[in-house]
Structure 1
């Protein structure tokens, strides 16, 4: 089977969980061929080249969305009229409340895609005066939402710029018999813009679309919009665009795989059909935590451990206040905050604030330098002298704490479970679903409740060991790479079995009917066996291998 893997700012260039998941998927399904199509939002990421790819990756194609683009394409009168009609339909859908069953957005989106396919890119048209006037008319039309009625010309221009970047996949040269038209299945590794090429592949070629969301794209947009410098009308228009795009992606997808029930609820609110939803949990490499997990008595019994990426959403302020309560009742208690290296300015500011708070809450201990273990609170980096590896970070204590106020799928919590550690977590995101009764869960932003739960486990070693063992068993059953890959292997085969058959031209007779035995079985065996085998595609900087269908 040939899979078109659609990514955005991820595999095969970026680092992080998104790249790791895609890499594990491709390597774990070595019997399938993969073509990777990635939308890049980062300057210079692709300059470093992709990670080393396995031989079943046939090609990698990249399209940057971060740079301004002008394809120099100008339309004639009829094409301008065609563009105007489709764009007006799309703009009107964004400006009015979304009624049930409204198809105007989908009609406008697919109409623009067909125009781009027939007449070339949309870049100049989407930034043109025609587009700005259409936006103005839609915002001022009767029935338009009040949030967009106050928009001004700078707002129209700003939104047109964002919309052109979001719709740039419509103008790519990926849609042809040698591109996405040649794949058996499109698998979008996230929703939103990354799934747009999959929508077009389905419309133009009937290729089934599978969408995987471990973090819901629309939710991420809403969370980031609060810190945006854009005006309120532009934010409202962008929210409407992403919301309607999510609805169309879910409607067209053959299957949508949320990473947890929290993501599933978001998708259902956006109109996803429950019959299409299949929860597939992210896969973690259990082997790297095996040594710690098989040693339940390891770790300092008086030490609490927090592991993760420091940012305000993790609410370390509440954790420090909670630990102050713990320290009053258990003077021997320690808290080790072990984090990934800080690179963003906002995170560095937050770290400085947390360190200042720790010095304020524990003035006597912070007055002089201490080694780790002497100071009640320590801030360390993964890879440092006291925490040389991720597994060692979890092994440092007997209880792992998660204090977040916002969380999607809690990766650090699963890692702690694989290490056989008892956990105390706040009830956010998918925490309760992941824990499943094998740890203590308290309300967020409640230091007293967090402290009480930590004290309960610090004072009861038998309960800690029992919960840790149950947590590890649950993680090994549900959250491993093996179960994740097995789930997608089954989904690929199911979707291919339901997809329409695409016959080779030489396998049809003069009347368009099938010719039995027109192609030998060897034509579908990987390698250069026959002249009818698929020609070897190539992409710059990689070694391609010849292959056929499996």
Structure 2
């Protein structure tokens, strides 16, 4: 390698156009790793977003909007005559002979229950090469494509074995629209780099997979959360038809599977995420955990607060996933015993309807001015320092910055035991079960009545944060990963002119797999007919047939969706929790 190391960092709905934990992490890498020249490939929802982060002078930004454009090539610096010539060449014959075979294979993969990521990667490469010559919009708008798609989907939906319900015309149009918009990514050139690095096992991983297929570029995947799980959790709030929900989640399953299959190094931000990654077939040798890091110059140890009313602070956006309502209910319990206590939530409103529900609950609980929604804090360190105790009541997390930032300022933490929070806290904090206001209140009261304990735990938390979660450590581990991957890739190129072909995972034994597939088909048949209880029973039978199957997360989240349809929201969350427990046991067996 000559000159700086070149890394393509791909993002989706985050850096450099939106604030948040992932964007903070990206900005740290891009601006602090001076030995690396970053090419930021940012997938955005539309072209009208405002850039929130400034990139270094030697960095390059590729912004790829999925919606909000008339022409799919608007984001490309391509001369109009070239695009016009592409349109002229994109006639019925090339669409029929070159595009439709690729399109057919892609749709088959997207709607398939069992995924083949190696075939899917070949399809993505074929589409990329096709759109180097032919125009994207002219291809998809060709009447042959719509007719072929409609025929494929209706035929698949008529086959009960596929588990797809019959779509209405809106579902057909919308699902093809998703394909058209999301896969505009393959219409964007891939820059030559030493390492491709995706910030999620999502659509932003497609450029990294193409880079690997085209140029043997090593692929590093960071996971802050588990993309597929997060999409399942949010799906019930979207109001889609059964067909559209199934189509979308299977498409996302295809995307996550191909990311996991092709990543040379998977770096979750906590051990907790490994459970899911193991279950999706990522071998232990490819996983290297790199925890998030905090700037010790910004988050300094807080000076002692003056004696007075105890103040509990939460730094979190107002969102159902943060479960602010449980914090409010716990606050009521604390106030009954400690009437002068104060509670402050620093964070922007991401779900306005949920905020309105919180305001109404505030009135019902008669919290008054004791509970304050303070909005987004521009000085984060000051927000933590304004409290005696930091609280987090989330029902789902990966590895939240707020916990580590609180520890770095020397504040004691009371948090729900979800995701990677226990990894962050260790013994330097109090963990309680989620959605339990009484337990959360007891955790706060334990610190309120014992200032010496608060100080001791605060010191222990800061020492732990300094040992594991500093920026220097994060930057060092990422730079080492980049160098390691780039060096190995260079050695492979020198030793052979063709990359070694990826070996597919060993097939599952036939009998249990057939039993599981049959149970899944029966479950889907019951679900389609409205027999939701019977469907739940059959999905559980499918799990019993192959408890360690790669399809287990899919089955358990299908169970969660069925409970959602029945209005049993607690049971839906419980199914996801059971899935995590099962993944933990599986991971423990493999590690042991």
**CA distance in structure 2 between the partners assigned to 1:80 and 1:164 by the alignment:** 17
Specify which of 332, 335, 338 is matched with residue 330 of structure 1: 338
2:221 aligns to what?
A: 211
**CA distance in structure 2 between the partners assigned to 1:404 and 1:503 by the alignment:** 47
CA contact 2:19–2:52 (8 Å) conserved in 1: no
Q: 1:328 to 1:70 in 2, by over 3 A?
A: closer
Matches within 5 A, 1:290-309: 290-292=300-302, 295=303, 300=308, 302-309=310-317
2:421 aligns to what?
A: 431
1:382 Cα shift?
Answer: 4.7
Specify which of 177, 180, 192 is matched with residue 164 of structure 1: 180
1:116 aligns to what?
A: 131
Partner SS, residue 26 of structure 1: helix
1:104 Cα shift?
Answer: 4.3
CA contact 1:90–1:107 (8 Å) conserved in 2: no
Partner SS, residue 342 of structure 2: strand
1:492 aligns to what?
A: 482
Confirm whether residue 54 of structure 1 aligns to residue 70 of structure 2.
no
**CA distance in structure 2 between the partners assigned to 1:75 and 1:187 by the alignment:** 36
2:140 aligns to what?
A: 125
Partner SS, residue 336 of structure 1: strand
Q: 1:113 to 1:298 in 2, by over 3 A?
A: farther
Confirm whether residue 222 of structure 1 aligns to residue 232 of structure 2.
yes
Partner SS, residue 441 of structure 1: strand
**CA distance in structure 1 between the partners assigned to 2:444 and 2:46 by the alignment:** 41
**CA distance in structure 1 between the partners assigned to 2:151 and 2:282 by the alignment:** 30
1:23 aligns to what?
A: 27
1:190 aligns to what?
A: 200
CA contact 2:11–2:41 (8 Å) conserved in 1: yes
1:339 aligns to what?
A: 346
CA contact 1:296–1:468 (8 Å) conserved in 2: no
User: Which one is further off, 257-266 or 69-78?
Assistant: 69-78
**CA distance in structure 2 between the partners assigned to 1:376 and 1:80 by the alignment:** 67
1:362 aligns to what?
A: 366
Consecutive unaligned residues in structure 1, runs of 5 or more? 367-374, 505-511, 513-550
Confirm whether residue 233 of structure 1 aligns to residue 248 of structure 2.
no
User: Which one is further off, 239-248 or 131-140?
Assistant: 131-140
**CA distance in structure 1 between the partners assigned to 2:396 and 2:70 by the alignment:** 36
1:16 Cα shift?
Answer: 3.0
Partner SS, residue 499 of structure 1: helix
Specify which of 321, 325, 332 is matched with residue 329 of structure 2: 321
**CA distance in structure 2 between the partners assigned to 1:18 and 1:323 by the alignment:** 30
Q: 1:140 to 1:315 in 2, by over 3 A?
A: closer
Confirm whether residue 471 of structure 1 aligns to residue 461 of structure 2.
yes
**CA distance in structure 2 between the partners assigned to 1:203 and 1:223 by the alignment:** 32
Consecutive unaligned residues in structure 2, runs of 5 or more? 73-86, 498-592
**CA distance in structure 2 between the partners assigned to 1:262 and 1:232 by the alignment:** 31
Q: 1:230 to 1:389 in 2, by over 3 A?
A: same
Partner SS, residue 108 of structure 1: helix
1:188 Cα shift?
Answer: 1.6
2:375 aligns to what?
A: 381
2:501 aligns to what?
A: none
1:123 Cα shift?
Answer: 6.3
1:326 Cα shift?
Answer: 1.7
Cα deviation, 1:400-457, whole Å, max 9, x if unaligned, reads 1111222232221112111111111111222112111211111111111111221112
Cα deviation, 1:382-404, whole Å, max 9, x if unaligned, reads 55xxxx83222222232111112
Q: 1:144 to 1:43 in 2, by over 3 A?
A: farther
CA contact 1:13–1:50 (8 Å) conserved in 2: yes
1:51 Cα shift?
Answer: 4.0
CA contact 1:170–1:197 (8 Å) conserved in 2: yes
Partner SS, residue 337 of structure 1: strand
**CA distance in structure 2 between the partners assigned to 1:150 and 1:93 by the alignment:** 18
Specify which of 296, 307, 311 is matched with residue 319 of structure 2: 311
CA contact 2:278–2:284 (8 Å) conserved in 1: yes
Count residues in correspondence.
474
**CA distance in structure 1 between the partners assigned to 2:387 and 2:359 by the alignment:** 20
1:137 Cα shift?
Answer: 5.1
1:489 Cα shift?
Answer: 0.5
**CA distance in structure 2 between the partners assigned to 1:276 and 1:390 by the alignment:** 35
Partner SS, residue 48 of structure 2: coil
Confirm whether residue 264 of structure 1 aligns to residue 271 of structure 2.
no
CA contact 2:121–2:209 (8 Å) conserved in 1: no
1:381 Cα shift?
Answer: 3.2
Normalising by structure 1, what TM-score?
0.79
Confirm whether residue 139 of structure 1 aligns to residue 156 of structure 2.
yes
Tell me which protein shows more helix as a share of its residues: 2
1:471 Cα shift?
Answer: 0.9
2:262 aligns to what?
A: 252
**CA distance in structure 2 between the partners assigned to 1:112 and 1:60 by the alignment:** 23
Matches within 5 A, 1:432-451: 432-451=422-441
Q: 1:123 to 1:138 in 2, by over 3 A?
A: farther
1:509 aligns to what?
A: none
2:380 aligns to what?
A: 390
1:455 aligns to what?
A: 445
Partner SS, residue 90 of structure 2: coil
Structure 1 stretches of 4+ with a deviation exceeding 6 A read none
1:42 aligns to what?
A: 46
